[in-house]
Amino acid sequence: MLQDIQIECPYCGEDFDTVVDCSAGSQRYIEDCAVCCRPIEFQAEVDDTGHLISVTAHRDDD
């Protein structure tokens, strides 16, 4: 269960599209910004039925 989302990069402030794999449940992972290529730490919360509840993006150096 993949879900497309739009995220604002915490480094450059640009919006870009990415995909969250909801079948993996709640998770933390690092993905590079599609605009400035800096590493972003994502935290995705997924409920027991596989629906995406929230996604937060933080700088990897925080």
pLDDT tens series, the chain, 62 aa = 999 999 999 999 999 999 999 999 999 999 999 999 999 999 999 999 999 999 999 998 87
C-alpha pair distances (Å), 55 with each of 23, 36: 15, 20
The pLDDT value recorded for residue 13 is: 97
Q: Residue 61: phi, psi to the nearest 5?
A: -95, 10
The pLDDT value recorded for residue 53 is: 97
The pLDDT value recorded for residue 46 is: 97
Measured distance CA(14)–CA(11) in Å, rounded: 8
The pLDDT value recorded for residue 60 is: 82
Count Cβ neighbours within 10 Å for each residue of 40-56 and write b for 16 or more, e otherwise: bbbebebeeeeebeebe
The pLDDT value recorded for residue 37 is: 96
- Structure letter (DSSP) for residue 50: S
Look up tokens 């925080």; give the residue.
Answer: 62
